Structure 1
Amino acid sequence: MDDAVLRDVEYSHEDTRMVGAVVAPPGAENAPGVLLVHDAFGLGDDMFAVARGLVRLGYAVFAADVWGDRTRPATQDEIGPLIGAMVSDRTRWTGRVGAAHAAASEQPELDGARLVGLGYCFGGSSVLEYLRTGGRLRGAISIHGGLDLLDPQADWSAADPSGHVLVCTGADDPMATADQRATLEAGLRQARVDWEFDLYSDTRHAFTSPQADSSPTPDVVAYNPRSAARSWAATRRLLAEILHPAAA
């Protein structure tokens, strides 16, 4: 949809300036929406491609900027400290997602009461962590989220029991092992939220990213187009169930 609304939105958390974006259908007003949280590489072309795909389905999107200043790290040496800073201060981590949620709710294109969080890799971890700590979203969809970033001792009692969770992950993802999946499941059961795990065979981390097709560590990170298509279909279905229940 080449005529989609695309507008940068500045917002902040504590002393950090964020530059998110609204991507929405032309003329959208108070539309059901998606809070899109980027992967470890920041808010870049891949995330805008996801946002445009959601717009074609009729949703308005607020793309978050968790790193701040639209930072787009290019190497693991840059990514590691950014993720480490969030994991070591979970209040700041979820506060940045919450700031994006608040900014999304202020945009005329989006209905703040009808928002679902969707995250990829680091973003998938982020939407789960935000829901766990009380973020009031209609749902949280984690696509190859790093479950290793979640606190195995975490308390899920603050999670909104009316939320819905979809976790799409690879059976061979070393960042989302069977033990880590079991721990997350136990937390979701504690929270009494509606949850679903889609587990894909012969699938590793970052399976939706075509750039991962040339990964130097294919045993860790690898593109899998079939699993990517399945996760997109699952995402579309759950969004329809949550945001368009009459049409689901």
Structure 2
Amino acid sequence: MKNLFLVAVMAVLVFASCKDKQKSSDTEKTVTETIELEAKEVEYSTDSITMKGYLVHNKNTAEKRPGIIVIHEWWGHNDYVRKRADMLAELGYTAMAIDMYGNGKEAAHPEDAGKFSGVVRNNVPLATARFDAALEVLKNHPSVDSSKIAAIGYCFGGSMALTMANTGKDLDAVAAFHSGVKLPVMPNDKLKAKVLVANGGADPFIPKETVDAFKAAMDSINADYEYIEFPEAQHAFTSKGADALGEKFNLPLKYNAEADAQSWQALKDLLYETF
């Protein structure tokens, strides 16, 4: 009888364990199946120019969620920045890939990219106006909790995200990838956001002295930040199209899968801790 009782107990436990595993599997399946991205192009403007953005969220999530601005590389608002917005939406955020050049303008050559980015970078009031116009669109979207906002950017976009944070924008978190850190507005006591910077140690566009100066400025105000350097990574390490562009224009651009994955995980950790 004792042995029969033990057998019965074991059978119950095995059955319960199987049910739990099935329940877990069903839950994971449901979560996956309920991600349905709704994306749309949005036009917004300042007094002087119209800009073309891309806003995306999971339409099957009812509750409001944090909104995240995504700022493009110096090439302009393209498919790459939209893909990053999609990835953020899949994580449960509402993301808006913004247009800092106006009219959805893209650069076909590094010379054009340098000119377009220089116009914005060298005019902080202009950059601020364009950023604010996008921010208003994002905050007013019905899926967004306007009290929870972050901004991320790549290359030129990273330096713009950091600069906007340094001007005192009400951002909870900011992340910059393969971004210059000699900024139009350096870190100061107006900075409110948690900051993540992920750069390549083999990136010739980011001199060590500028990194040292950036860290010193952040330390001087006791900023909440993390600076990650991937020793072997070159510029544009998060972009799978970097190698082709590097070869085409003879530039030190190269995708690095490991640095890409690790920097994205660092971003996810930052957003999770913040929100």
TM-superposed deviation, 1:131: 0.3
Question: In structure 2, which of residues 255, 258, 265 is the aligned counterpart of residue 233 of structure 1?
Answer: 265
Report the residue type matching 1:84 in the other structure: G
Contact 2:187–2:217, Cα closer than 8 Å, also in 1 = yes
- Corresponding residue number in structure 2 for 1:19: 52
- Corresponding residue number in structure 2 for 1:246: none
Q: Does 1:117 align with 2:127?
A: no
- Corresponding residue number in structure 2 for 1:224: 256
Question: 3-state SS of the aligned residue for 2:269?
Answer: helix
Report the residue type matching 2:253 in the other structure: V
Q: Output one character per residue of 1:116-171: Cα deviation in whole Å (capped at 9) or x when no partner.
A: 111111110010000001111101000111224x14x84623222xx200000001
Report the residue type matching 1:6 in the other structure: A
- Corresponding residue number in structure 1 for 2:101: 67
Report the residue type matching 1:223 in the other structure: Y
Q: Does 1:7 align with 2:50?
A: no
CA distance in structure 2 between the aligned counterparts of 1:68 and 1:193, rounded to whole angstroms: 32
Q: Does 1:197 align with 2:230?
A: no
- Corresponding residue number in structure 2 for 1:143: 177
Report the residue type matching 1:9 in the other structure: V
TM-superposed deviation, 1:219: 6.8
Q: Output one character per residue of 1:4-34: Cα deviation in whole Å (capped at 9) or x when no partner.
A: 1112222112311111121000144521121
Question: 3-state SS of the aligned residue for 1:119?
Answer: strand
Contact 1:168–1:231, Cα closer than 8 Å, also in 2 = yes
CA distance in structure 2 between the aligned counterparts of 1:109 and 1:51, rounded to whole angstroms: 15
Contact 1:157–1:190, Cα closer than 8 Å, also in 2 = no
- Corresponding residue number in structure 2 for 1:44: 78
Flag structure 2 segments of 5+ consecutive residues without an equivalent.
1-31
Number of corresponding residues: 239
Question: 3-state SS of the aligned residue for 1:34?
Answer: strand
Report the residue type matching 2:56 in the other structure: V
Q: Which aligned pairs between 1:99-178 and structure 2 lie closer than 5 A?
A: 99-148=133-182, 150-151=183-184, 154=186, 156-160=188-192, 163-178=193-208
Higher helix share: 2
- Corresponding residue number in structure 1 for 2:214: 184
Q: Which moved more, 1:92-101 or 1:44-53?
A: 92-101
The structure 1 segments of at least 4 consecutive aligned residues displaced by more than 6 Å after TM superposition are none
Report the residue type matching 1:200 in the other structure: F
CA distance in structure 1 between the aligned counterparts of 2:88 and 2:171, rounded to whole angstroms: 17
Report the residue type matching 1:147 in the other structure: V
CA distance in structure 2 between the aligned counterparts of 1:8 and 1:95, rounded to whole angstroms: 20
Report the residue type matching 2:69 in the other structure: L
Contact 1:164–1:195, Cα closer than 8 Å, also in 2 = yes
- Corresponding residue number in structure 2 for 1:211: 241
Q: Which moved more, 1:75-84 or 1:24-33?
A: 24-33
CA distance in structure 1 between the aligned counterparts of 2:220 and 2:166, rounded to whole angstroms: 10
Point out the structure with max Rg over C-alpha.
2
Q: Output one character per residue of 1:202-225: Cα deviation in whole Å (capped at 9) or x when no partner.
A: 111101111112323777221111
Q: Which moved more, 1:6-15 or 1:203-212?
A: 6-15
Q: Output one character per residue of 1:162-221: Cα deviation in whole Å (capped at 9) or x when no partner.
A: x20000000111222221111111222234320001110111110111111232377722
Please give the TM-score of this superposition, normalised by the length of structure 1.
0.89
